[in-house]
Amino acid sequence: MSTTRALIIYGSVYGYTEQYATWLAEDLRALPQAPEVETVPAAKVTPEQVEAADVVVIGGSDYGGFLTGAPSLRKKIVPLLLPKRKRTAFFTVSFTGEYSKDLLNKAVAKSYTAELTEGQPVAHLRGGIKWSELSLTHKAALKGPVRAWLAAKPNPNEGIQQMLDCYGTEGADYTNRTSLEPFAQEVAKLI
């Protein structure tokens, strides 16, 4: 019996998505019928890696509804996945995670096509913000229009309130390996 190959592709700017990709790879390698698992940044994935995989997991950091690495993956990877109906799963990482589930589901479908994502496992995980590491562009967006938009929301959910609370601090980190477990179980079913 041949070993199943799993490929985890991730788009990460500040390391939170890469951390979840690493944890997922560790969880999959610990399965009784452990697959061969490879993790690769979205910018470096090759068509050959996708072709060799039996299961493909794609993770991306969310920045205002845009997933890191998604535009290039849509062009060079999605066409390889669709015709063969490869087993796929998707995850996003953002400050609010599941609190923004509806918006993030739309971002996944828009980024990778509804045809590919429909009915596939999807998880929305929480990352964080470390103000000292943010690019000037991200700082300006978060301190300006994003903060104003969040502050204008009546009855903000817990994730939005936590984001507002982290302004003026060093930041906050909500990465949590335990939150990955249900998704890891869904991916294991694809193996």
Q: What is the 3-state secondary structure (H, E, C) of 51-84?
A: HHCCEEEEEEEEECCEECCHHHHHHHCHHHHCCC
pLDDT at 56: 95
The alpha carbon of residue 112 and the mean position of all alpha carbons in its chain are separated, in whole angstroms, by 12
Give the pLDDT score at 30: 93
Where the chain has pLDDT below 50, the residues are: 1
Q: Is the pTM of this model over 0.95?
A: no
Give residue 19's pLDDT. 97
- Position 85 scores a pLDDT of 67
Question: Which pLDDT tens digit goes with each residue over 159-183?
Answer: 888 888 888 888 889 999 999 999 9
CA gap 39, 62 in Å, rounded: 19
β-strands 87-94, 66-67 pairing: unpaired
* 104 neighbors 159 (Cβ within 8 angstroms): no
From the list 3, 123, 127, 120, the residue with the least C-alpha distance to 53 is 3
Phi, psi of 67 (to 5 degrees): -95, 130
Indicate the residue type of 55. Answer: V
Phi and psi at residue 34, in whole multiples of 5°? -55, 130
